[in-house]
Amino acid sequence: MRRTSPGRPRHVVSTSAASPRDQVLDAAAELFVTRGFAATSTREIAEKVGIQQASLYYHFAGKDEILAELLQRSVRPTMDNVAKIEALVPPDTDATALYLLALIDIRTLAEASHNVGILYGQSDVADSEIYAEFHHARGQLVESYGRFGLRAASRDLASDIDTRELGEMLTHSVEVVTTLRQVGLAVTPKRANRIAAAALRMCEVPQATISIAASAAGDLLAGLVTIDQTAGALAAQ
């Protein structure tokens, strides 16, 4: 059961501006990525943060709940923007919608704490009880990619592929971000645009249309980022 009181004082006074909960998530992400989920204990997470193990249970019921939150954070920001994309992007500019979805997802994966996207393929994570919930959330993202992709795809491709297949292909093409991070390559704006453009080429979108979509999606993304930052600042007040 999760504690209802803060637990014992810290071993080490924190100098971080992040909340204690976020500090636990950050420490756990680093340990899960570098050592593996199964090999990491809640005691080790607590020690890395500088708190008593009992204090960790004030924030999370256990290691599985921490993993669940980290996995959800790797898809939730993208999924939260799907409806916004559909509302913002004008009709008959489906390539722009797909390009914008890819850019947002790339940003989500690039900013995920300690590259948690690589946990998707780790057997100890896939075998955990909470993975099924994450798999459902990721499935919703795959469906969104497939839906956007079919709208933008050439007539020949759209007649020969279904939403799930195309969605999986597009999702995997964007998840290359985790590989880039793993080998030490920064996900620069230039690389992000190359990945998004490749997703559109997978849908057989003409290069001229891709160029238009890239410009429009870049402008729309800047607007969404400004809105998110403003909302975050207001929530913090």
Could you report the per-residue pLDDT of 157-199, keeping only the tens digit for each?
999 999 999 999 999 999 999 999 999 999 999 999 999 999 9
pLDDT of residue 130: 81
Same domain, 135 and 201: yes
User: What number of helices (H) and strands (E) belong to the chain?
Assistant: 14, 0
How far is Cα 74 from Cα 69, in angstroms, rounded to an integer?
Answer: 9
The whole-chain average pLDDT of the chain stands at 87
Q: What is the pTM of this model?
A: 0.85
Is residue 144 located within the same domain as residue 35? no
Q: Read off the pLDDT of residues 104-130 as tens digits, 9 standing for 90 and up.
A: 999 999 998 899 989 988 888 888 878
Express each pLDDT in 13-65 by its tens digit.
444 567 889 999 999 999 999 999 999 999 999 999 999 999 999 999 999 99
Q: Is 60 exceeded by the pLDDT of residue 68?
A: yes
- Residue 56 domain flag: yes
> Do both 58 and 100 map to the same domain?
no
Question: What residues contact residue 62 under an 8 Å CB cut-off, 6+ apart?
Answer: 42
87/127 Cα distance (integer angstroms)? 38
Q: Which domain holds residue 35?
A: 20-69
Dist CA 22 CA 193 (whole Å): 30
How many Å apart are CA 58 and CA 62, to the nearest integer? 10
Domains: count for the chain: 2
Whether 46 and 127 share a structural domain:
no
Convert the pLDDT of each residue in 125-151 to its tens digit.
888 878 888 888 899 999 999 999 999
Q: What is the pLDDT of residue 142?
A: 97
Is 236 a residue whose pLDDT tops 60? no
The DSSP line for 88-116 is HSPTT-HHHHHHHHHHHHHHHHHHSGGGG
Co-location of 90 and 168 in the same domain: yes
